[in-house]
């Protein structure tokens, strides 16, 4: 888990290179941004996007904790999940399109990929596992050192991509958004799952990219 931000930075770099190539070919901000967002989706097999969709379906569609967890394990995607995926891709691509300079976008993609995954070790430290089996329970509870290393690496990536002022804002916004998700998870299913961790990554990444669009693109 301490290496999660390194993986995220590598994925962000791959997305940034695709963005830069698309921009160099003259495709324009929106096609370049959509291709950049698609790159880590393809490289990870839509791992976190699947978690976002399942979380949206589960938290939005059930009336008991047991039913919500059952929905989250269902491989089919419902209306809440589809809408969550559309919003995730659209917001990330739109934020990138608002950041005009290609070089700035590459740094922001690295920062967003790293920081959004740096937060993941903190999730099982804040919430217990909602069920005894599955990815969330299997991940275990990382120790203080692992969590601190991940957060430190993620914060360094934020500084690299957004500078000091933008990093502080992105940190605050992403932490608040993730905290709201975890609060909803605690109330509705009693803890975290692998899907909720995936949703946390997606929400944090959106928060960083939207912050960057306002900070740099504005």
Q: What is the mean pLDDT of residues 65-87?
A: 92
Per-residue pLDDT tens over the stretch 152-164: 999 999 999 999 9
Which tens digits make up the pLDDT trace of 110-140?
Answer: 999 999 999 999 999 999 988 777 665 566 7
For residue 142, the model assigns a pLDDT of 84
Query: Per the confidence metrics, is the pTM higher than 0.85?
Result: yes
Q: Residue 207: which domain range? A: 4-217
At 135 the pLDDT is: 64
According to the 3-state scheme, what is the secondary structure of the chain?
CCCHHHHHHHHHHHHHHHHHHHHHCCCCHHHHHHHHHHHHHHHHCCHHHHHHHHHHHHHHHCCCHHHHHHHHHCCCCCHHHHHHHHHHHHHHHHHHHCCCCHHHHHHHHHHHHHHHHHCHHHHHHHCCECCCCCHHHHHCCCCHHHHHHHHHHHHHHHHHHHHHHHHHHHHHHHHHHHHHHHHHHHHHHCCECHHHHHHHHHHHHHHHHHHHHHHHHC
- Please, which pLDDT band fits residue 75 given cuts at 50, 70 and 90? confident
pLDDT value at position 141? 80
> For the chain, what is the domain count?
1
Across the chain, mean pLDDT equals 92
């Amino acid at each position: 888990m301490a290496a999660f931000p390194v993986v995220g930075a590598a994925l962000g770099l791959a997305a940034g290179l695709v963005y830069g190539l698309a921009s160099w070919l003259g495709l324009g901000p929106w096609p370049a941004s959509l291709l950049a967002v698609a790159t880590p989706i393809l490289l990870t097999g839509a791992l976190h996007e699947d978690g976002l969709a399942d979380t949206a379906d589960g938290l939005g569609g059930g009336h008991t904790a047991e039913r919500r967890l059952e929905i989250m394990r269902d491989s089919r995607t419902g209306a809440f999940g589809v809408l969550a995926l559309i919003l995730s891709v659209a917001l990330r691509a739109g934020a990138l399109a608002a950041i005009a300079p290609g070089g700035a976008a590459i740094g922001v993609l690295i920062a967003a990929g790293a920081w959004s995954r740096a937060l993941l070790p903190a999730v099982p430290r804040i919430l217990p596992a909602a069920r005894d089996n599955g990815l969330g329970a299997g991940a275990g509870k990382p120790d203080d050192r692992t969590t601190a290393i991940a957060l430190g690496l993620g914060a360094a990536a934020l500084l690299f991509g957004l500078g000091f002022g933008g990093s502080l804002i992105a940190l605050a916004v992403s932490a608040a958004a993730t905290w709201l998700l975890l609060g909803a998870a605690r109330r509705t299913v009693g803890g975290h799952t692998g899907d909720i961790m995936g949703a946390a990554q997606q929400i944090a990444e959106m928060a960083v990219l939207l912050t960057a669009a306002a900070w740099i693109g504005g």
